[in-house]
Copies of this chain bind each other. A is one copy, B any other.
């Protein structure tokens, strides 16, 4: 085994220990959680803006928003009505790791949180290797990126539980087939639940909200 692989294994196993602690803490407080992953610009922040605005008067949603260099995403989420938003600036790192999330969560009052969301760095490769203690991963893909992406970046689609096909308002202008991307994604992961949304037109958002509502209620009942 090369030195590089040995060190990577060590880093990942340290990460997994912290992730397990985060998971235990969230479970103890009956807080469902997901880790949102995608290429840069697929619409993670836009979907969260809509989600925060929609649930503003009903649920307390905490978000840690990862970014390579700026706090722009966190600022957008605050403007959208988010109350419990923390930026994580990775300073050039290509993914979030569990220790960053743990530090960022430290000040949260967990008794007052109904849903915990991690917005990862925009990157369809590296974030797939890092467990952040979440219940599940939600991968976004936009209709402008090409329907072959699940086959070309299979790790992320294999490790996700939900795929959101976003920017459906642009599909008519792109060489992108929604049935094809679903078929490609299911070839990698037959269990993937699929949503189709347009944050611009609002199409499909109700289904996404319904799913979140159920996620929150079923975790509260546990």
Contacts and interface: CB of A to CB of B under 8 A. Distances in A.
Copies of this chain present in the complex amount to 2
A145 B40 contact: yes
B125 A94 contact: yes
B125 A69 contact: no
Interface string A121-143: 11111100000000000000010
Contacts of A121: 125
Contacts of A193: none
Interface string A149-178: 101111100000000000101100110000
Interface of A: 3-4, 7, 10-11, 39-41, 67-70, 72-73, 92-94, 121-126, 142, 144-146, 148-149, 151-155, 167, 169-170, 173-174
Nearest to A92: B155
Contacts of A92: 125, 155
A145 B4 CA distance: 33
Given A68-B153, A68-B155, A69-B154, A144 B124 contact: no
